[in-house]
Amino acid sequence: MKRPPFRLLKYNLLFILAACIVVFSIMEPRFCTSANMLVVLRQAAVMGIFAIALTFVVVSGEFDISFAAIGGFVASLFSVFLLEGLGIHNMVIVWTIGWTFGIGVGLINASLVRLIGIPSFVATLGMMWLMDGASQGLTGGGFYFSSKWPKMYGVLGRGFTFGVLPNAAVFFIAVAIATLIILEHTRIGRHLHAVGDNPEASRHVGISISRQKYIAFAIAGFLAALGGTLTASQMGHVGPELTRGFLMPAITVVFLGSIFLGRRTPNIWGTLVAAILLAAISNGLTLLGITTGLRYSVQGALLLGSIAVGRKRIVAALVRGDRV
């Protein structure tokens, strides 16, 4: 692998982030206000959690397009079914059930891929439709809001620790640290990387490819559920559209982050920085008056650009048509 000409080039995304902050602040003074930074952080938190979910799966050599839908479904599930329908009001219990559900769906995804042999993007595409349909069915199609929800519902998304730090950011940082440690500094994480980079070699060394992928999908499902929970908490309602808006940005974040640190595969650090970067760009463009549609296109361009730049390892990691 070629060394980039300047060692510091591997911190490319950080430079871009700094540049964006400077440029946006100059062009639009409102960008640098603490209120705005709060908005950016909140966006980055949700995008980041979803993106980390996808990162685990891509690192292990598969793809998961259902993560946003899983998050939306879990949110609808606990909002409509648990809180409303069953009347359970202890948020901790509700969240635990919801997050376990996320793990369950992740395991089902993994079964479809490993047990039945459906290529991962088709399997998760079908799962996404199932989850979307189920969400819509639960919420009846529109925004679902209930005054019976306990106050703790919004605490994750809108509360503050020590009155200053937004809970969402704290949550995100906690998740980020945990996943960083898991993926980069534990044996499980190394095995996940191994399975994605070189399945043949992993098998010869004795790593169970199936088990690693089950783990990856399960973690993704769990994180997706977290993301859905956070979004619902921020918005104060659930509905079919709740998490759909995070699908494409999260995918963009994962691939944007893959060019960070010269790794050329999706990695947690890259995902983190890219999440903040994309949130900042989106926010800055909004303040500058760029319309929703054009902002969406910019994301698409970033996605294409980051793949074009970092393609070699990503191609190897993603195009696994053969079963191992």
Question: Looking at beta carbons only, is 206 or 293 nearer to another protein?
Answer: 293
- The yes or no reply on residue 87 touching another protein (CB under 8 A) is no
**Smallest gap, in angstroms, from Cβ of residue 251 to another protein?**
7
Q: From CA 75, how far away is CA 134, in angstroms rounded? A: 11
Angle (CA) 306-294-231 rounded to 5° is 80
- The yes or no reply on residue 150 touching another protein (CB under 8 A) is no
**Smallest gap, in angstroms, from Cβ of residue 267 to another protein?**
17
With CB under 8 A as the contact rule, the residue among 100, 136, 198, 210 that binds another protein is 136
Q: Express the helix, strand and coil content of the chain in percent, nearest 5 each.
A: 75, 0, 20
Give the three-class secondary structure for 263: coil
- The yes or no reply on residue 299 touching another protein (CB under 8 A) is yes
- The yes or no reply on residue 251 touching another protein (CB under 8 A) is yes
- The yes or no reply on residue 311 touching another protein (CB under 8 A) is yes
Per-position DSSP letters for 277-314, written without gaps between them: HHHHHHHHHHHTT--HHHHHHHHHHHHHHHHHHSHHHH
The count of C-alpha atoms lying within 13 angstroms of the C-alpha of 311, restricted to the half-sphere facing its C-beta, is 6
**Smallest gap, in angstroms, from Cβ of residue 197 to another protein?**
16
Q: From CA 42, how far away is CA 80, in angstroms rounded? A: 24
**Smallest gap, in angstroms, from Cβ of residue 120 to another protein?**
8
- The yes or no reply on residue 141 touching another protein (CB under 8 A) is yes
- The yes or no reply on residue 142 touching another protein (CB under 8 A) is no
With CB under 8 A as the contact rule, the residue among 1, 35, 164, 308 that binds another protein is 308
Q: From CA 42, how far away is CA 48, in angstroms rounded? A: 10
Binding site for another protein (CB under 8 A): 63, 112, 116-119, 121-123, 125-137, 141, 240, 248, 251-252, 255, 291-301, 303-304, 307-308, 311-312, 314-315, 318-319, 321, 323
